[in-house]
Amino acid sequence: MGVSASITASVGLATLLGAWLGAGSGAAAQPSDDWPHYGGSLAGDRYAAPSAITPQSIDRLSVAWVYRTGDTTDGNGFGGNPSRFQATPILVGGKLIASTGFNRAFALDPATGTEIWTFDPKVDFSKSYSEPFASRGVSAWQDAAPGQGPCRARVFLGTLDARLFALDADAGVPCADFGKDGEVDLSVGIPRFRERDYSVTSPATVVGDLVIVGSAIGDNGATALEPGVVRAYDVRDGGLVWAWDPLPRSDDHPGAESWTNVQDNRTGGANVWSVMSADPGRDLVFLPTTSSSPDFYGGERLGDNAFANSVVALRASTGEFVWGYQTVRHDLWDYDLASQPLLFEHASADGTRRPAVAQATKTGFVFVLDRASGEPLHPVEERAVPKSDVPGEQAAPTQRFPKLRLHATDARPLRFWDHSEEHRAACRRLIDGVRYEGIFTPPSLEGTMLYPGNPGGTNWGSMAYDRGSRIAYAVVTRWPTIVKLIPRQQFLAAFL
């Protein structure tokens, strides 16, 4: 049976996190009827101005229309992967614009659901991509200069086969002056590029006249994966304006001191596969970076590995490094930053307000940082964490534990499975057979339980912030996982 993919005009609800962020709104636009960015605004706050939808009226909502993309598959002929729909539409210029799992962009009349245009980049889905059918949306740009002609409003679409398209927002056709015939080949300039493993799955971030794009890189295919370079292109001609690699390749990189033998650094990743945020007034773009490769063994990337697993602030216009704050040192758990940074005005107890950025994480921790300096605005404790017993590995001796947490992180997962004696006994046998000494227990040869697990905490659904009530919301997952390392020679012997 096929998988249904459709958009339904309705409303969704989030899980309450708590009123801890303080007062004020984010960095970007004031409330409007439009939804011009993936996160509502460049602040990533997902805030909609008060409307007729209230707790008293929500039970009277009814379906206004349904649009079926038709982009469905049960996996046959598509690398065995079923299709999925992950996009958040944007609303600009009177059009609701999104993308499908097939990377097809489309524009609808928001009142009726009538299709206005559609664009198919013709991605070859006979190939098996490391992020199958992942396309979380598009981004938009409007020319501020007076004038007429095509492509004065543009929609940017990234694809699984590493291309970036600029489309006319009114007609849905490629803008011929952007790159080559409307597209930029993102594989150009990427060392060790692997087809099908280097993709774009999240919307690019448009700041001024730049479109800033990260990448999704398939995990664990090699130690030396592609570098997680973030790049900015001119929105008009597609020319490369700047590029910044989160990982050091020379001693003059701001993160070099956190690595052993930078010149021998063969690791990759630390890419930005999720959504970036921006503060145009301060000329800042905020990057949530991922783990350096490979995920669960760091013997070939010794050191803290900055600026992997970090919130990084760059000058949006130049790519100049401003500051970086690492949330996990020498990541051995795939605890990359999947959530979009949230920009808001932080209010302290004495009423002082400071521009801030809040970063939710897979660990369930929330780091609240000064937007200009990266200084923590809520207490963060340095704690000793378990050592690794794997030959060649050197786990970080301490990790950062912020005061703000989305769920309990110190408890043994057994307490959440305590439903019956049978469950208790089965879970105890499983847990007693592996290593578990808390959230940062390193992977081991006998097996280690990861909790809340690499699908845990807050993922790419990110947080939302109500500017009126000053309450933040998040969807939180706890997904215990067991990781067991296999010595290289033992692994290779299995294939001889």
**Residue carrying structure tokens 């994966």:** 225
Closest CA to 82 of 5, 6, 158: 5
Whole-angstrom distance, CA of residue 307 vs CA of residue 485: 25
Whole-angstrom distance, CA of residue 213 vs CA of residue 230: 6
What's the CA dihedral at 339, 340, 341, 344 to 10 degrees?
-120
334 is catalytic: yes
Whole-angstrom distance, CA of residue 75 vs CA of residue 68: 19
Structural contact between residues 225 and 268, judged by C-beta atoms closer than 8 angstroms: yes
Check residue 4 and give left, alpha or beta (phi > 0: left; psi -120 to 50: alpha): beta
Structural contact between residues 280 and 316, judged by C-beta atoms closer than 8 angstroms: yes
As a residue count, the chain comes to 496
- Count Cβ atoms below 10 Å from residue 225 Cβ, excluding itself: 25
Amino acid at 327: T
Element (H, E) at 33: none
Structural contact between residues 15 and 475, judged by C-beta atoms closer than 8 angstroms: yes
- Beta-bridge partner residues of 195: none
Check residue 46 and give left, alpha or beta (phi > 0: left; psi -120 to 50: alpha): left
Would you give the DSSP letter of residue 421? H
Would you give the DSSP letter of residue 358? E
Whole-angstrom distance, CA of residue 357 vs CA of residue 344: 6
* Secondary structure E strands in 260-326: 277-279, 284-288, 310-315, 321-326
- Count Cβ atoms below 10 Å from residue 412 Cβ, excluding itself: 15
Whole-angstrom distance, CA of residue 174 vs CA of residue 183: 8
> Could you say which of 334, 350, 370, 466 is catalytic?
334
Residue 261 tokens read as 């033998």
Q: Which residues form the catalytic set? A: 334
